[in-house]
């Protein structure tokens, strides 16, 4: 079978093709993740100035902001993959959703915890019920709901499909998180990185922030590919077992 | 259309014959709400402030009670397969089930709420707003719940799972319903909040049947 004739979308649905791609890409993303996180952490913790108002607490932001961005981006990617799985029956798309979900949940958890640790010295409270925090918390529960649902079926394929539908329904939360700081008067500050007028962050703080965002992204790509590969292996083992009459 | 109406009557009849199905959610609603004054003390001002939130939170939980049975019985005895094969779109079946669920849970809650309001010393100026918020909000709860019931159909430990999936999606309804009652209590206009609730209702009416029907098809595959 020649891969050239297959549309791009479906070429990587072939586990063997994906495996080859993953083995080529993985060393680079692993290296990039280690390098960017190390550099980013060095700049974030040592080689960037303390904020004139927040002092050294501002350094929490270099973890909080990338985690928050990833929590939304990962969910967006899961939703896109879920849609691809439902519309084109793309074989790897549903597996990607499952592989990415625990990572997204972890990013959301890190975002909430880091934000809480920052909130105590800055706002004087671990938690406030403003729209940004509440919608992010709901995102965390959406991740947990997906993780619980996907494993609740005896037939794994059925769990993947039910989970994909749930992810698509939950996507309504994403714009609410993004625009919560504009729609409501929140204690959480409005966007300062992705604004129409460009970033409103000082270059000395922008550098570690961008390094950390790159590091988080490379880490995500690395781990999600490893998880996808292990999911594919698990599926193959299941198929062999069934063929051998074990189950 | 007449097929949908007949299915609705059939569902309602089944529910009414099993009286306990009908009474359980309302009884839970009343009991859970009445635990609050016993828990926090009968101080009138405190109760007046807590009343809208308590009524709505227990209403959310009460709608959960009958949800896991929404498709389960039909799924187990094969009725759902026949409904899926029938010429009536599965989306219409979902809407019919939602309507039957609302008539047997949402509507009784609507009728019990004023009595609870009296006992919890709800601000007299907010009764109408509370009823309107329940009238607009509880059907949305039934819709979201129907989606949850459809997506967990055939899953192990469906009940607890259903609550985990559905409660986060209930949050916007709770927020806007209670802020409507809050606004009415402060003499402000509850209209914007109620309009938002109405928009949830309309959006749910359009979107939920498709999501729930897709989940049902997955369960029936």
Strand ranges inside chain A, DSSP E: none
Residue by residue, pLDDT tens for chain B (221 residues) are 688 888 888 888 888 887 677 788 889 999 999 898 999 888 989 999 999 999 999 999 999 888 888 888 889 888 899 888 888 899 999 999 999 999 989 999 999 999 999 999 898 889 999 999 999 999 999 999 999 999 999 888 777 889 999 999 999 999 999 999 999 988 888 899 999 999 999 999 999 999 999 999 988 88
Are the beta carbons of A129 and A188 closer than 8 angstroms? no
Q: How far apart are CA A212 and CA A221, in angstroms?
A: 14
Q: Which residues of A touch B (CB under 8 A)?
A: 86, 134, 138, 141-142, 144-145, 148-149, 152-154, 158-159, 161-162, 165-166, 168-170, 176
pLDDT bin (cut points 50, 70, 90) of residue A203 is confident
Q: CB neighbours of A227 closer than 8 A, spacing ≥ 6?
A: A99, A100, A102, A103
A51 beta partners: A55
Looking at the complex, report in whole angstroms how far the Cα of residue A117 sits from the nearest Cα belonging to chain B. Answer: 24
Selected for mutation to probe chain B from A105, A138, A165 (highest B CB count within 10 Å) is A165
B154: closest chain A residue by CA: A153
DSSP codes joined into one string, B30-77: HHHHHHHHHHH---HHHHHHHHHHHHHHHHHHHHHHTGGGTTHHHHHH
Look at residue A247 in the predicted model and tell me its pLDDT: 52
Selected for mutation to probe chain B from A83, A139, A145 (highest B CB count within 10 Å) is A145
Selected for mutation to probe chain B from A82, A138, A152, A171 (highest B CB count within 10 Å) is A152
B171: closest chain A residue by CA: A138
Please name the member of A144, A152, A161 whose beta carbon is closest to the beta carbon of B157.
A152
Give this complex's ipTM. Answer: 0.86
pLDDT bin (cut points 50, 70, 90) of residue A246 is low
Mean pLDDT of A113-141: 90
Contact between B215 and A162 using a beta-carbon 8 Å cutoff: yes
Q: CB neighbours of B54 closer than 8 A, spacing ≥ 6?
A: B33, B36, B120
Look at residue A1 in the predicted model and tell me its pLDDT: 46
Look at residue A4 in the predicted model and tell me its pLDDT: 55
Chain A residues close to B170, C-beta within 8 Å: none
| Mean pLDDT over each residue of chain A, to the nearest integer | 87
- Give per-residue pLDDT as tens, A60-101: 999 999 999 999 999 999 999 999 998 888 878 999 999 999
- Give per-residue pLDDT as tens, A94-114: 999 999 999 999 999 999 999
Contact between B152 and A162 using a beta-carbon 8 Å cutoff: yes
Contact between B221 and A142 using a beta-carbon 8 Å cutoff: no
Chain A residues close to B167, C-beta within 8 Å: 141
Please report, for residues A16, A96, A126, B121, B214, the alpha-carbon distance to residue A184 in angstroms, rounded to integers and kept in the order given.
49, 34, 20, 30, 34
Q: How far apart are CA B213 and CA B203, in angstroms?
A: 16
Q: Is the pLDDT of residue A215 over 90?
A: yes
Q: What count of other Cβ atoms lies within 10 Å of the Cβ of residue A48?
A: 19
Q: Is the pLDDT of residue A176 over 90?
A: no
Contact between B156 and A153 using a beta-carbon 8 Å cutoff: yes
Look at residue A8 in the predicted model and tell me its pLDDT: 67
Contact between A152 and B155 using a beta-carbon 8 Å cutoff: yes
Q: How far apart are CA A189 and CA B60, in angstroms?
A: 31
Chain A residues close to B152, C-beta within 8 Å: 149, 152, 162
Which sequence spans correspond to the domains of chain A? 21-47+58-243
């Amino acid at each position: 079978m020649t891969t050239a004739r297959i549309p791009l979308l479906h070429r990587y649905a072939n586990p063997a093709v994906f495996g080859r791609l993953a083995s080529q890409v993985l060393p680079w993303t692993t290296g990039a993740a280690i390098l960017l996180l190390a550099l980013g952490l060095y700049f974030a913790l040592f080689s960037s100035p303390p904020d004139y108002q927040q002092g050294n607490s501002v350094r929490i932001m270099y973890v909080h902001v990338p985690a928050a961005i990833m929590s939304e981006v990962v969910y967006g990617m899961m939703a896109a993959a879920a849609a691809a799985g439902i519309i084109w029956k793309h074989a790897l798309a549903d597996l990607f959703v499952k592989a990415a979900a625990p990572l997204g949940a972890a990013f959301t958890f890190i975002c909430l915890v880091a934000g809480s640790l920052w909130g105590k010295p800055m706002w004087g409270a671990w938690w406030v019920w403003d729209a940004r925090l509440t919608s992010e918390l709901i995102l965390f529960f959406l991740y947990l709901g997906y993780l619980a649902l996907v494993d609740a079926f005896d037939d794994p394929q059925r769990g993947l499909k039910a989970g994909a539908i749930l992810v698509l329904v939950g996507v309504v939360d994403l714009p609410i998180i993004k625009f919560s700081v504009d729609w409501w008067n929140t204690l959480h500050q409005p966007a300062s990185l992705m604004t129409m007028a460009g970033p409103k962050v000082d270059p000395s703080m922008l550098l570690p922030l961008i390094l950390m965002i790159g590091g988080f992204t490379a880490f995500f790509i690395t781990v999600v590919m490893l998880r996808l590969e292990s999911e594919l292996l698990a599926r193959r083992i299941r198929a062999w077992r069934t063929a051998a009459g074990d189950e | 259309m007449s097929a949908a109406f007949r299915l609705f009557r059939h569902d309602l009849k089944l529910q009414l014959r099993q009286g306990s199905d009908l009474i359980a959610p309302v009884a839970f609603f009343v009991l859970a709400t009445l635990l609050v004054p016993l828990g926090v003390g009968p101080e009138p001002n405190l109760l007046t402030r807590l009343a809208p939130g308590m009524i709505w939170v227990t209403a959310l939980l009460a709608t959960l009670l009958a949800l896991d049975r929404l498709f389960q019985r039909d799924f187990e005895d094969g009725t759902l397969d026949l409904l899926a094969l029938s010429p009536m779109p599965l989306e219409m079946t979902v809407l019919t089930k939602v309507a039957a669920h609302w008539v047997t849970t949402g509507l009784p809650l609507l009728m019990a709420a004023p009595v609870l309001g009296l006992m919890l010393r709800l601000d007299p100026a907010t009764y109408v707003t509370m009823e309107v918020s329940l009238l607009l909000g509880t059907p949305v709860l039934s819709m979201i719940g129907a989606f949850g019931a459809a997506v967990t159909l055939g899953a192990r430990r469906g009940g607890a799972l259903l609550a985990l999936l559905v409660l986060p999606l209930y949050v916007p309804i709770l927020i806007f319903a209670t802020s409507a009652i809050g606004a009415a209590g402060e003499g402000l206009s509850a209209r914007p909040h109620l309009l938002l609730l109405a928009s949830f209702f309309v959006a749910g009416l359009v979107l939920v049947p498709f999501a729930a029907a897709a989940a049902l098809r997955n369960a029936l595959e």
